[in-house]
Each structure stands twice: as C-alpha cells, then as structure tokens.
Amino acid sequence: EGPWDGMALWEVWPRDGSTNIVAVPGCSGWRDEWTELCRGKNVTLMFDSDHPPTLGGYKGMQRVAKRLSGVAESVRYLHWGPDGYDPALPAGYDVRDYLCSYENRQAALTDLMEKVVDAPR
C-alpha cells in the first residue's frame, strides 16, 4: 500500500524476473480496471497494519481480495495479526517500516514473507 512501500520492497526483492511489484496509492485506491491486469497471476496484497476503529488496511485488503477472487490464480495477503492488525506495532505500520526495522533487509524480507497467508474467501 503506497509508493514508498513498493519502493522498499522492490529494493530487496530478488531479481529473477518472475515478480512484478506494483504499489497502489492506498487501500481504498484500487481501480476496477486493475483487476483484469491480475488475471491468472499470483497476487500478494500488502496493506498497512491499521488499528481499530478503522482497520483501513485490512478492510481494503478484503475488498481487493473479493475483486480478485476468480480472476487471479491465487490471492494472498500480509497477515499482520488475527484481527487484521498487530496491536504491538504503531497504527499504520507498513512494509517499509518492517523492512527498515532490520539491519539486514534480506532477513527482514524473509521474515515478512512468513506473515503472508491465503486471503480469506
């Protein structure tokens, strides 16, 4: 979610040519025409760990996952916690924050990807 997160992820992602990293302006910024671009692709959604009462990132992920259901080959998402966020982290914590919290960003990427699970149907 957001260009800064996309850039931080792109910086550490392995360059094997099999992955595209696309950053949307925010959890509510998904445009319907982008759904077709995901046809047949394996998609991972990485929205922010937004706290209640809004849970904006989690709710945004759910909306996008529904739009991609039946279009994308698979839909996965960054699972911050059981209620859609991690209460131990500040509200709005994101991919860039996570990657920058480690001295070794490759280790951070490995740990971050362990939080990715299948999106709820």
Write the DSSP symbol of residue 49.
B
Q: Which two tokens stand for residue 70?
A: 């039946």
Compute the residue count for the chain: 121
pTM above 0.85, yes or no: yes
pLDDT-derived band of residue 1, with 50, 70 and 90 as boundaries? confident
How far is the C-alpha of 58 from the C-alpha of 19, rounded, in Å? 23
Cα end-to-end distance, the chain, whole Å: 21
Return the percentage of the chain with pLDDT > 90, whole number: 86
- pLDDT (tens digit per residue) in 2-53: 899 999 999 999 999 889 999 988 878 899 899 999 999 999 999 999 999 9
| Averaged pLDDT of the chain | 93
Q: What's the number of CA atoms in the CB half-sphere (13 Å) around residue 77?
A: 26
